[in-house]
Structure 1
């Protein structure tokens, strides 16, 4: 065989022409297989629910009046979205979804058998996908052979994921609120003790002036000539020290009460709205699989490619 590229190309082309009947047979066979696949393959429908995830700092009234809120984005960060995606296969979400939509019966799965539940979860998680779009919103997609069921599952799936995400945020926030209430109770008890001690010292030493050095907004007299008691100086120092401690305790309690009021203002789950739905999944849906003509064309060209490779490989031998 001449190694000239043009002669080689002409030779290979002549080989293919001489085997054209074989190539035609392979193409028709592949097309027939594609037709059989189309006839028996059930159509799959993808239901998509489009949404925007809000920043929970704005959704939560706890932070609504904070001065730092002006520097925070209105929409969720990448970390927040990853937290939402992490709930896609969470036990609580999956159990609620299976129970509410009766998916065990729909997918003909016996949950009483040990592998049944795992298989059902694997089937469901394999059909759902959460992703971003170029338009900066997110999509939850779910596919099924039944378009109505695909839409129901997609919408309910997103609702449950958001519900459990809100529960997670509320659980952390309520833990903080509980810790604050315990701290406030402790500080109130401490403040009562300080008040009783300070009152007792004032009665003991006969000193009733405000003499705390930490009170910068109070005019303090600098002339303490005594009240005739021999332990006046000691009483002055004790009261001054105790007043300083009490002033600090009052300031701390005030800060914690203010913060607790903010947490209490958004304590319930219903106070949060983390997701803005842009478009819910609703039938009719387009089939996600290739159409009849598309499948036949793919099989046709796949058969042609296989036939050409087969003929050329055998020719080289």
Structure 2
């Protein structure tokens, strides 16, 4: 499982809206930003305002490699810490967590976090026992909740190790190129692009193994899902599928704003002026990946871009 490295975001996300293909280059925000304190409502607590915020139709929890049997929310930890633990009947689990942390350099707050599974901790149905200590806040005690409560709480947590795309993240080149429907577009050094399912898929080649670095897709039938969102999703549903908790304020939020998070870490942004990508853009990142929803003149997703760290 993945633990967030905040520095990645300092170099990456708010490059999120600005170039024509997924990349890690840095782009300055279109509007000045001010760092403020984190929101006072903790998504770890299913307060009235959390439960009353309507979920978009089709909103979904992260896809797991096992059949979920129970859901747990963490008791408060750290600075407004929040976590969702999904448990299988045979004891497998995934725990995704986040918390706010103040940046000593500028006094602003960033939303950090990560994910782990049963290889890093033991869960007894109420508490976690970690195999190794950590120098960061982590959830310890949990309470079981219903699926509806888990959905409502997850929507108010940041995107975190949850994308589901139809491409392998790691595969032998020969095996991939034998996959029906895969066709080579071009190769430049170790960087190779293919067409598959109507998408332009990029890989890096290392010792005969391909590592997924990203894709761009415009096919209406492209099978990608993040929180139930994909091709054809409305701008309203995309915005309603993520937290509204940002410590950054911009001077022209109708043009560019942070949806959640700080200036680095787990964060999401909205850019209404992204002509370079062909439309309004909502970007979300968990430090390892960046997903970009790009909208047409009807405010519906017509293009998806995805960047994946190959480190």
**Is this a same-fold pair by TM over 0.5?**
no
**Structure 1 length-normalised TM:** 0.19
Higher strand share: 2
Task: Report the TM-score, using the length of structure 2 for normalisation.
Answer: 0.20
**Which of structures 1 and 2 has the larger relative contact order (alpha carbons within 8 angstroms, sep 6+)?**
1
